Amino acid sequence: MSTPELGSLDVFRSTVEVMLIDGVLTREEKRLIIKLANVLELTPDEPAYIYEAIQTDRDSRPGPSVSPENMRLIYTKVFEVAIVNASLSRDEFRVLAHLRSQFDINDEQHREIEAELREMVKEKYEDAAVIDTLMNTLRDSVGMVGDLFDTFRKRINEGETR
């Protein structure tokens, strides 16, 4: 990954901003943002700091740099939380596409992560019906996240900022 340096608070802020595009923070989005704050190792007061900065349209500090190795881990952990929901919403797909764009995760890396998550699902759940549901959700997510990722990539290539 040849991603420019990103701070943990910058990643968190831009993701919350994506979630708030429609003006509503759904329960599923809250689950994702809690996981994101956790894997970014934010302090207990940092999510509120970022939310207040967004609400008051103020700049915020970037936070510690996120390493390329951690970018993949963060994306994987948030993706895992999303698929366990078993019915991904368009909002959740948008969040995943945003993180994929932020972390410059290409199609091959995304397929590797998907394969890891497939194995995790098979190991974690013994109920065949649960496995089938999660695997179908995961399969459906690949195309949707890919399409949204392409949209984000196109916007960035046309001069928009992340």
6: β partners: 66
Query: Which residues, in sequence order, are bridge partners of residue 7?
Result: 65
How remote is the C-alpha of 38 from its chain's centroid?
A: 12
- Between 52 and 129, name the one with better pLDDT: 52
What's the pLDDT tens digit per position in 128-143? 565 565 555 555 554 5
Distance separating alpha carbons of residues 31 and 99, to the nearest angstrom: 15
Average pLDDT, the chain: 80
pLDDT of residue 2: 45
Task: Specify the pLDDT at position 123.
Answer: 74
Q: How confident is the model at residue 162 (pLDDT cuts 50, 70, 90)?
A: very low
Question: Which pLDDT value is given to residue 40?
Answer: 97
* pTM beyond 0.85: no
Contact (Cβ atoms closer than 8 angstroms) between residue 90 and residue 33? no
Residue where the block lists tokens 């900022």: 161
pLDDT at 3: 46
Domains in the chain: boundaries: 6-156
Give tens-digit pLDDT for 97-120.
899 999 999 989 988 988 888 787
Q: In Å, how far from its chain's centre is CA 10?
A: 13
Q: Which two tokens stand for residue 87?
A: 């019915």
pLDDT band, very low/low/confident/very high, at 81 (cuts 50, 70, 90): confident
